Chains A and B, each alone.
Chain A
Amino acid sequence: MTGMRPVQRIRAFFGTMAGQIFLILTLGMSVAAIIALLVAEQARHHDFERVRRARVVASAVDIADRLQRDPARVEAMMANHRIVGAAMAPAGVALSDTDAELESILTERLGRRSQPEAGQVPAGLCFPSGNRERAAGVIDAPRPDCWIVRFTDVRGARRAMALSFPRLIKPPSTIFNPAYLLVIVAASAGLAILVARSVAKPLRRLERAAEAFSLSLDPEEIPERGPEEVRAALSTFNLMQRRARAGFAERTQLLAAISHDLQTPLTRMRLRLELVDNADLRERLLADHQAMQTLVREGLDLASSTESREEWSVIDIDSLLASMAEDAEDLGAPVRFVSGCGGTVRVKPNALTRCIANLVDNGVKYGGGADISCTRSGGRLMIDVRDHGPGIPADQIDQMFEPFTRGPSSQPGGRHGTGIGLTIARSLAMSFEASVRLRNAPEGGVVATIDMKG
């Protein structure tokens, strides 16, 4: 992770479950909050319009009422501007933009036959131009709203009035204020992080436990803490781990018991072989005996490789690799220690030694030699054992770790040995929390890599 560019890191974060939860929650909550605010804004707008219309309706109904009671006086007062907020509408004004909603309310209040027309008009129509000069200092003041209402009264006369009201200014909307949006998004993101973390945490624990289980058969159980579903999952995992371990132990014990008990008849057979006089027959029987004995020995090795009673120690890794190569060379095997990585590593030394020895044996047997090298990267230590053979077909690499799998018989060196060496190597590696991988090297040959914490 450390070497990644920021873009890659962000992409990697959104690839994680926590990242996706974070993204969904942040976007979702922000959108939901904004929609809720828009709806509220809409409602506010409606209320505002309703209040504006209610003023017009109240005023119009009031004037209509007065006109009905005393038409002559009221008309005269309106003409002389003696009613505040109501005057005779100037003649010849066309209502280009009538307010249908207002008209329907007026129909309700003034009667079906009133056929009202109403609409807002420029303020000047309520106040003939001469008025403005009288009101000194109010030029810039907000000018009142001006409405024209026409209707037919009960006597059948068509009335037209200009109603003026102090201007109602709708307070500006705050939704699209960036600071406001920022608060919403930040709050959503904050909550999303909390949720994502609390969801991801037990999963991380589970993942770490599963990883530990894949590396070692004897990991610690995960503490069963957290919400109920999480506890149930962890408890199931622990149960599975215990069962797998028990099953594995049983298999190992069976293998050990069979291999162990075969040793007595094999001993008898070996001693009896000394009594065979026919040299040719004896030689063949000895070869068979040898093959059986190897199988038994490796079976026992496999069984004991899963039991890691050995203590952890800190070792000088290069000294181990160099001395193994020297020992192999002394026995005439073409094994080289190519490059070391210096420093120390914490392992189970005998298990590591046997693990490397198995890989080196394989390299010598199937690949005509082995080059041992060691590299460190990103807190890991990798020991490569490379042979000079023809490699393994890509589709067979994974099978190589199954017990009793050998290289193809067409391959030089194929089809002898027990095919259990790699299984033992992997099992040994697990005992010190390492893994073994095989791959074909681009320049030919197979590379077996022991990958451990270093």
Chain B
Amino acid sequence: MLDSSPARQATVLVVDDDADIRDLIIGQLHQENYRLLAAASLAELRRTLKEEAVDLIVLDLNLPDGDGLMLCRELRAEGADVQIIMVTARGSAIDRVLGLELGADDYLTKPFEPRELLVRIRNLLRRGRSDPAARPAAARFARFGPWRLDLQQRRLVAPDDSLVMLSSAEFRLLSRFIEEPNVVLSRETLVPERRATAAFDRSIDLQVSRLRQKLATVPGGDELILTVRGEGYVLASGVEQL
């Protein structure tokens, strides 16, 4: 099979020091149309990267000859745009935040659902192809009005450094506003993954009103999210990534 086919076959490199796990993952990935490579150590991984064009690495962090995190950082420093999914046992000294900060594109903990791995690989490869520069800069905070939104811990930080907690829905909502400040967003665009029904519209209104209440607890925090009659809502503030 050559690269001449319109949908170029993606190359996936599976790195794990446990031979069984490596083979089993590769066995799973066989049902997809990928070219599959395997490596058992950092040395093998580096050699393979020199010889082959790899689109995505499934990277176990604990390898006999070194730490996958360091490799991840090295690759990013070299400017490699290979996609990386980190796979690690829970309770390792690394958490999701650190992994993503060091340049991983996604993160899975062992033991994982095999289907989950397939879905994430598929998503990453699709995203990577259509929009190679879409990897978000790992900003920690977004500042708007008197508030800072902690993008990693998913909570609001007041000017006096006290914290205001957000529900997942509120965080999603606020993140959307922050992605597009000063733009009027319709109810449908605010939560696109759900169908916009009348009941759902009401729940969006409820969430916006809760969010407003939370934002209004510090001076200058009211009138950040404005209602545009018949159209939707707008975040009336500049946003600065920190």
Tell me the B150-190 residues at the A interface (CB within 8 Å).
Answer: 153, 155, 158, 160-170
- In the bound assembly, the distance between CA atoms of A99 and B163 in angstroms comes to 96
- In the bound assembly, the distance between CA atoms of A259 and B92 in angstroms comes to 11
- In the bound assembly, the distance between CA atoms of A293 and B110 in angstroms comes to 10
Name which of A40-48, A79-87, A264-272 contacts chain B. A264-272
Tell me the B6-38 residues at the A interface (CB within 8 Å).
Answer: 18, 20-21, 24-25, 27-28
- In the bound assembly, the distance between CA atoms of A272 and B114 in angstroms comes to 10
- The contact size tier of chain B is 20 to 34
- Contact flag A270-B113 (CB < 8 Å), given A264-B21, A313-B161, A349-B155: yes
B167 touches A322 (CB 8 A): yes
A263 touches B165 (CB 8 A): no
Name which of A6-14, A199-207, A323-331, A363-371 contacts chain B. A323-331
How many A-B residue contacts, CB cutoff 8 Å?
A: 101
**A452 beta carbon closer than 8 Å to chain B:** no
- In the bound assembly, the distance between CA atoms of A122 and B18 in angstroms comes to 124
A268 touches B168 (CB 8 A): no
Distance between A123 CB and nearest chain B CB, rounded to angstroms:
95
Q: Please, which residues of chain A bring their CB within 8 A of the CB of B210?
A: 322, 326
**A304 beta carbon closer than 8 Å to chain B:** yes
B168 touches A330 (CB 8 A): yes
Across the interface, B165 reaches (CB within 8 A) one of A260, A330, A349, namely A349
B28 touches A263 (CB 8 A): no
Distance between B28 CB and nearest chain A CB, rounded to angstroms:
6
- Contact flag A323-B170 (CB < 8 Å), given A266-B110, A315-B164: yes
**A126 beta carbon closer than 8 Å to chain B:** no
**A274 beta carbon closer than 8 Å to chain B:** yes
Residue of chain A at shortest CB distance from B25: A271
B91 touches A314 (CB 8 A): no
A316 touches B111 (CB 8 A): no
- Contact flag A268-B24 (CB < 8 Å), given A293-B111, A327-B168, A330-B169: yes
Q: Please, which residues of chain B bring their CB within 8 A of the CB of A296?
A: 90
- In the bound assembly, the distance between CA atoms of A256 and B161 in angstroms comes to 33
Distance between A275 CB and nearest chain B CB, rounded to angstroms:
8
**B89 beta carbon closer than 8 Å to chain A:** yes
Across the interface, B163 reaches (CB within 8 A) one of A267, A272, A315, namely A315
Q: Please, which residues of chain A bring their CB within 8 A of the CB of B160?
A: 314
**B214 beta carbon closer than 8 Å to chain A:** yes
**B209 beta carbon closer than 8 Å to chain A:** no
- B binding-site residues for A, Cβ under 8 Å: 18, 20-21, 24-25, 27-28, 89-92, 110-114, 153, 155, 158, 160-170, 210, 214, 217
- A binding-site residues for B, Cβ under 8 Å: 256, 259-260, 263-264, 266-272, 274-275, 289, 293, 296-297, 300, 303-304, 313-316, 319-320, 322-324, 326-327, 330, 344, 349-350, 353
Q: List 19 A-B contacts (CB under 8 A).
A: A260-B90, A264-B110, A267-B112, A270-B111, A270-B113, A271-B25, A303-B91, A313-B161, A314-B162, A316-B164, A316-B165, A319-B166, A319-B214, A323-B168, A326-B169, A326-B210, A327-B167, A327-B168, A344-B162
